[in-house]
Amino acid sequence: MTAEDRITEVLRRLDTGQDDARARLFELLRIPSISAQPAHAPDCAAAARWLVHEFAAIGFETALRETPGHPIVTGYYPGPDPATTGATVPHVLFYGHYDVQPADPLELWTSPPFEPQMVEGPHGPRIVARGAVDDKGEVVAFLCACRAWYLATGSLPIRITLLIEGEEEIGGPNLDHFMAEHRAELKADIALISDTNMWDIATPAITTQLRGMVYVQIDLVGPSRDLHSGSYGGAVLNPINALTRILGDLHDAEGHVKIPGFYDGVAEVPPAQAAQWEALGFDEAAMLAGIGLSVGAGELGRSALEKLWARPTADLNGIWGGYTGIGAKTVIASEAHAKLSFRLVPGQNPETVLAGLREFITDRTPPGARITLQEFGGNPGVAVPTEGPFMSAAIAALTDEFGKAPVLMGCGGSIPVVGSLKSLLGLDTILMGFGLEDDQIHSPNEKFEWRCFEGAARSHARLLGKLGAMT
């Protein structure tokens, strides 16, 4: 059987096995593996066992690895024997996660979140359930691609290591330690993650840039107790006034962040990439209208996609202090608090940003105020190589499946594991995802278009074939 015959048979298996694929996905979606809620720890373990069983059934050596939190699923497929083939094929580490966000508020769901439904939408059938796209649907699509290869040819064309965790939705507190402890076991040539989006339902995408994150809480304390504003107002420090004055100075009139050293390491978008983004025809007005706005914000002179994908941000996420109940209470609060997040781009150092923030706050702290900064972690932005044989194989696989080349796009959010894979294991990552912007990830009525699920499984099958042709 030629290489072309093999991929044709694999794709035929996927096309004729849709009912089986749907049944498998629905089984996993019915497990309420909510990592954030201790009551669902047994469900997280059940989801992990499901994956162990399903991958073992197609020749993987699988294991459920205990951690101080929820278990990690590992697996290994050895690929073709070099002694028989005379060549060594690539080794891919596939990362995914089986845990999901809480389903609250339940009353906003059109059907129970852990009773998956296939319903009609504008693009045909779609699956509605918690975890449908993030990330159970995309993990099962990869499973189905591997299964189709196994059933069609009796083997898989490359070496594969699995790393599927159960704590991604709570920040992956045990993953880095596990990777560091098992470096040799997790060694591979390239990492593959399917937990990102397409450009639109007809246009595939590979994400090549991710923003990082720094998150802090600022606590400003003034008087030793709350004060009557008539007795003390105008004569003593008001912590809410002081904190809002400091935070109100974060941006200048053109939208630039005024923290010292904030833009150190931030590079301009290369002209070729900027031209590609411009050619996408992104409709900023439609985006704004969809969220009830008519005017954009941010740095002047920057396009919307540039601001979303390639520029850093500073945003207040919450601010509180004093009396916020019904009616009036004339009080000068003794404390004021705010939560502040920074989205970082490749080249920025989280520690440099934190040091600049401390300097910014110190320079603006009024006499009598005591400020503390609580740090809730940070990770740098990540850029993955856009050239090389593995990226070329992914581009070719998507082009073959969709009839057009994928968009090489950025992502405004963060996937910290991409940085960890690079720093701990030395692996670059192919971010080949199949979600859509309107999939309502983390929200009620999360969905995954069946057309996207099919495209995901077929694209992964094609990618395995392309990689198997490499030596």
Asked if 332 and 236 count as a contact pair (C-beta separation under 8 A), the reply is yes
pLDDT confidence of residue 447: 98
Q: Are residues 38 and 118 in the same domain?
A: yes
Structure token pair of residue 199: 């450009």
Asked if residue 151 and residue 14 are part of one domain, the reply reads yes
Q: Same domain, yes or no, for 343 and 415?
A: no
Q: Are residues 224 and 370 in the same domain?
A: yes
432/323 same-domain check: no
Q: Among 334, 362, 379, identify where a domain stops.
A: 379
Answer yes or no: is 275 within a domain. no
Residue 410 falls inside a structural domain: yes
pLDDT at 377: 82
- CA 285, 288, 293, 296 torsion-angle sign: negative
| Peptide bond preceding 135 in cis form (omega within 30 of 0) | yes
The Cβ of residue 150 has, within 10 Å, a number of other Cβ atoms equal to 18
In a domain, residue 403? The reply is yes
Bridge partners of 197, per DSSP, are 435
Q: Measuring CA to CA, which residue among 270, 136, 208 is closest to residue 395?
A: 208
Indicate whether 238 and 369 sit together in one domain. yes
Q: What is the model's pTM?
A: 0.89
**Can you give the pLDDT at residue 86?**
64
**Do 174 and 162 lie in a common domain?**
yes
From 379, 407, 422, the end of a domain falls on 379
Position 154 in a domain: yes
Residue 276 lies in a domain: no
State which residues form the domain around 59: 3-210+381-468
The pairing of beta strand 212-221 with beta strand 370-379: antiparallel
pLDDT at residue 471, rounded to an integer:
76
Query: In three state form, how does the secondary structure of 312-361 look?
Result: CEEEEEEEECCCCCCCCCCEECCEEEEEEEEEECCCCCHHHHHHHHHHHH
Number of structural domains in the chain:
2
453's enclosing H/E stretch is: helix 450-468
Closest CA to 73 of 143, 158, 7: 143
The pLDDT value recorded for residue 359 is 98
Q: Are residues 355 and 232 in the same domain?
A: yes
Residues 6+ apart with CB under 8 A from 467: 89, 90, 92, 157, 158, 390, 393
Whether residues 13 and 105 share a domain: the answer is: yes
Helix or strand holding residue 64 (H, E): strand 61-65
In a domain, 294, yes or no: no
In this prediction, the residues of the chain whose per-residue pLDDT falls under 70 are 83, 85-86
Residues 98 and 219 in one domain: no
| Residue 135 domain flag | yes
If asked whether residues 220 and 197 sit together in one domain, one would say no
Q: Is residue 282 part of a domain?
A: no
Q: What contacts 465, CB < 8 A, 6 or more positions away? A: 3, 6, 7, 10, 157, 397
Let me know: does 198 contact 204? Beta carbons within 8 Å.
yes
pLDDT given at position 423: 94
As a whole number of angstroms, the distance between CA 469 and CA 471 comes to 7
Answer with the one of 355, 379, 403 that is the final residue of a domain: 379
User: Nearest CA to 383 among 273, 291, 232?
Assistant: 273
- Which CATH number characterizes residue 56's domain? 3.40.630.10
Q: Could you tell me if 128 and 150 lie in one domain?
A: yes
What pLDDT sits at residue 82?
A: 77
Question: Rounded CA gap, 38 and 240, in Å?
Answer: 36
Which two structure tokens, joined as six digits, stand for 22? 């749907």
